Amino acid sequence: PTAPSVMTMNGHFAAVGEKPTIEQYEHGIQVIDEDKEFNPNLSTYLQVTKVAPAGFDYHLISVFGSQSTGKSTLLNHLFGTDFGVMSETERRQTTKGIWMSKNKKEAAEGSGAERMANNILVMDVEGTDGRERGEDQDFERKSALFALATSEVLIVNIWEHQVGLYQGANMGLLKTVFEVNLQLFLKDKQSNPRSLLFFVIRDHLGTTPLANLRNTLIQDLSKIWSTLSKPKGLESSRIEDYFDFAFAALPHKILQPDKFLIEVGKLGTRFRAGHRTSKPGLPLDEEFTGGVFLPEYHRRIPADGVSKYAEGVWDQIVNNKDLDLPTQQELLAQFRCDEISREVLVAFDEAILPLEEKQAEGVRLGKPAVLPDLGVIGKATRSKTIKAFETEASRYHKGVYTRKKVELEGKIDTRMKALYLGQLSAAHKAGVTDFSESVSGAVKNGQKKGGSYDFADIVEREKAVALKKFQKEAMGLAIEGVPWTNFKQQYGLYEKDLDEVSGRLRKEEMRRLATRVERWVRSRLGESVGLEFNKLGSGRGGSGAPEDGVKPATEKDLWDRIWKLFVTTVKEAETRFVERAKSFDASEEEIEVGLWRLRRKSWGVLKARIDEEVMEGNILLKLRENFEDKFRYDDDGVPRIWRPTDDIEGMYTKAKDSTLTLIPLLSRFRLAETYAPPELPEWIGLAPQSVDSKDEEDLTPIGGVDEEEGKSLEEEMTVLSEAKRQDLVVRFKKTADGVYVEAKRSAIGGVAQ
């Protein structure tokens, strides 16, 4: 053994940036140094020795006893540790403070039933007696408290010749241990863990059997217990309420080295799991089946919390505070649960953060991304994260653990919920766009193929596709037993949006339909109105060549005929419109609005057509034709050959006057029967309530219909203004005069010939 190095190499490796290795800890770690400082590297030590992940599968034992009674030597032999021991020549204290080392023998030695327990952590506690009292007694008390709060088994190392020396130093130490124990468990009545006091009697000569030594020790212990001043409430407590006892004896190491080694070997095999087979409190060493580690001794501090727990306990002890183990355990649980929570969130972040960033980027660019396999990744990550937390944290204080788990789930779910809602929002947007495009595409396709497509069918089909896609995404995100992953509400909103879009698309479709129907009205009216005006040109009021079965048209009922054919045409158009609109599920209201628009637009078409007919050149030509017909043809429709004797002047005046009567007739759209304009406002009807005035900005106002226009129906029905009328009269007269002069000339000319 290399004592000097132990003095310096105390395990305080505060090396920066260097990964700690097991080699750095060959002598174990000085948990508490001579200045009563706790070593913050204990947690590192437990990690490099791979104890930290062991859960509850570890054991903590401490050794007590007078200074230089071979404690460190014993531990080194039992556990292959490398605690400093006093060299045989220099007799001074070697172990300072409290050292800890992991059993190095478990892996190498023993097998089957005799194999030592996993992960035995041994604490070598500084011996104190035989030196000056005072400060050291304080340390003794503190280290005893520390050992009791943490250790399952306390090895009490004692020379055989000290047994029965009731006043001896050992007994002082035990008294301290007992007092401290009572103090400790005053606060911790519910868990009340027991400890095993394992007496190892050294330099056993063999003359006094172990059983006798054991009895002597038990008597002494009872005596000590009875002399303790017990705290209130624990006056009647018995030693066996807190401790079990076990005994072993070892031969003299120097005098009987071979025997010593054999017995140490045997003793080592007792450090394994055991089960109680008899009542607590009785001398137990023969009663154990199996080893000394009874489950009830375990302090139930998970291995990864041992360093933090030990630190907390030591902090309380060193500051002379009342050591309250349940509180310590709760504090530890809070600390560790938070730590574990942070650890598992690192892994969670690794999986989720890139997705969150990708999503945020999509939103930033205005192109929300539907992340592939989000449900699968999310679900796996969530359960993995929570499972990892459960595995580690459930070993801690139940109440704290449960609370912290809820906290963690809250954190995870807040993130996941945002991510999932983002995903559905992206799916929503994409779905609505796809839907709109698919419907428009299908309509265009139908138009290309000759306009025979069923709009309602297209919408229904595309909506089903869109809903299915969204539903698949939403279902993919669902996690069983996690209520917030039910996205029915989002599905409902999505469907609502699709319906809104279909409504808009249907409206567009209605407009397209309206345009088609209007075009049809325009072409129909173009032809038929033209025909009616052409009849004016004949001047004979249809008497020339009336078609069979058709009532001869007269100039007087021109407007009646135009109104009638207009109404009939629009009626037909309305029927077409309704039929088609119904085929794509347009609502009554939409149809009502459509028809109303159609009537208004049709009126506009008619007016434009009439305006075209009465354009200066056109109407003048018609009047001239009308006049010529009357003037140049006789009643039988035979062209006149003018002779000088003919009353050209009289005929001219008659024909001219007759044609002139047409001008006022043409000037107003007036029905012959009523001598009033047709009932246009009634025919168009009131604007349906659902008309959105913004949508109808393209409609030209109609006098007498749109009151606010300040134009009367009379004005609306005025075809030729007063000025135009007078102008027309003047022009017509000139034209008629020309014809007359020509007739006159031809009459004279005819004579001259």
Spatial distance between the Cα atoms of 236 and 217, rounded to a whole number of angstroms: 21
203 scored as a contact of ligand GDP (CB under 6 A):
yes
Q: Which stretch binds ligand GDP (CB under 6 A): 87-95, 363-371, 505-513, 629-637?
A: 87-95
Query: Which tokens in the block code for residue 140?
Result: 């003794």
Among 68, 151, 626, 735, binds ligand GDP (CB under 6 A): 68
Helix axes 398-448, 488-538, angle to 10 degrees: 20
Sheet holding 120-125, edge to edge: 29-32, 98-102, 120-125, 59-65, 153-159, 195-202, 243-249
Largest CA distance in the chain: 185
659 contacts ligand GDP (rule: CB under 6 A): no
β-pairing verdict for 120-125 and 29-32? unpaired
- Give whichever of 94 and 307 is closer to ligand GDP, judged by the CB atom: 94
Side-chain half-sphere CA neighbours of 752 within 13 A: 6
Among the listed residues 69, 181, 667, 718, the single contact to ligand GDP using CB under 6 A: 69
Whichever of 72 and 316 has its CB closer to Mg ion, that residue is 72
Of the two residues 67 and 195, which places its CB atom closer to ligand GDP in the complex? 67
Task: Output 10 or 94, the one with its CB closest to ligand GDP.
Answer: 94
Going by C-beta distance under 8 Å and a sequence separation of 6 or more, which residues neighbour residue 191? 300, 325, 326
> Does 201 sit near ligand GDP (CB under 6 A)?
no
> What is the nearest approach in angstroms of ligand GDP to the Cβ of residue 67?
5
Q: What is the 3-state secondary structure (H, E, C) of 314-353?
A: HHHHHCCCCCCHHHHHHHHHHHHHHHHHHHHHHHHHHHHH
List the one residue out of 670, 660, 673 whose CA is nearest residue 718: 670
Question: Token match 């200045």: residue?
Answer: 35
Between 86 and 593, name the residue whose CB sits nearer to ligand GDP.
Answer: 86
Could you give the string, one character per residue 127-146, with x where binding to ligand GDP holds by CB under 6 A and - elsewhere?
A: x-------------------
Q: By CB under 6 A, is residue 540 in contact with ligand GDP? A: no
What is the CB neighbour count within 10 angstroms for residue 433?
Answer: 12
Kindly indicate which of the ranges 84-92, 143-151, 236-244, 405-413 contains the residues binding ligand GDP, using the contact rule CB under 6 A. 84-92
Q: Which of residues 87-106 bind Mg ion (CB under 5 A)?
A: 95
Q: How many chain residues bind ligand GDP (CB under 6 A)?
A: 18
The binder of ligand GDP chosen from 254, 418, 621, 741 (CB under 6 A): 254
Please, what is the minimum distance in Å from the beta carbon of residue 75 to ligand GDP? 8
67 touches ligand GDP by CB under 6 A:
yes
Min dist. Cβ of residue 153 to ligand GDP (A): 17
88 touches, from Mg ion, ligand GDP, none (C-beta below 5 to 8 Å by class):
ligand GDP
- Under the binding rule (CB under 6 A), the answer on residue 28 touching ligand GDP is no
E strand map for 21-97: 29-32, 59-65
- Determine the straight-line distance between the first and last CA of the chain, rounded to whole angstroms: 163
Of 72 and 626, which CB lies nearer to Mg ion in the complex structure?
Answer: 72
Sign of CA dihedral 300, 302, 305, 310: positive
Contact yes or no for 35/121 (Cβ under 8 A): no
C-alpha closest to that of 272 among 111, 88, 469, 95: 111
Determine, following the binding rule CB under 6 A, whether residue 162 of this chain makes contact with ligand GDP: no
The answer to whether residue 86 forms part of the interface with ligand GDP (CB under 6 A) is: yes
Closest CB to ligand GDP among residues 94, 381: 94
Tell me which DSSP letter residue 668 carries.
B
List, as one string, the DSSP characters of 467-522: HHHHHHHHHHH--TT-GGG--HHHHHHHHHHHHHHHHHHHHHHHHHHHHHHHHHHH
Q: Cα–Cα distance between 122 and 151 in angstroms, integer?
A: 9
The answer to the question of residue 85 lying near ligand GDP (CB under 6 A) is: yes
> If binding is defined by CB under 5 A, does position 30 make contact with Mg ion?
no
Q: Return the number of the residue (203 or 304) whose C-beta is nearest ligand GDP.
A: 203
Nearer to Mg ion, 72 or 659 (CB): 72
By beta-carbon proximity to Mg ion, the closer residue of 95 and 423 is 95
> Which residue has its beta carbon closest to ligand GDP?
70
Q: Does 143 bind Mg ion (CB under 5 A)?
A: no
Residue 741 within binding range of ligand GDP, rule CB under 6 A: no
- Scanning 71-79, 114-122, 432-440, 488-496 for contacts with Mg ion by CB under 5 A, the matching segment is 71-79
Contact status: 258 vs ligand GDP (CB under 6 A): no
Beta strands in 12-58 (DSSP E): 29-32
**Looking at 67-75, 377-385, 616-624, 648-656, which segment touches Mg ion (CB under 5 A)?**
67-75
| CA dist., res. 509 & res. 457, Å (int) | 13
Contact set with Mg ion (CB under 5 A) = 72, 95
Contact set with ligand GDP (CB under 6 A) = 67-73, 85-86, 88, 94-95, 127, 202-203, 252-254
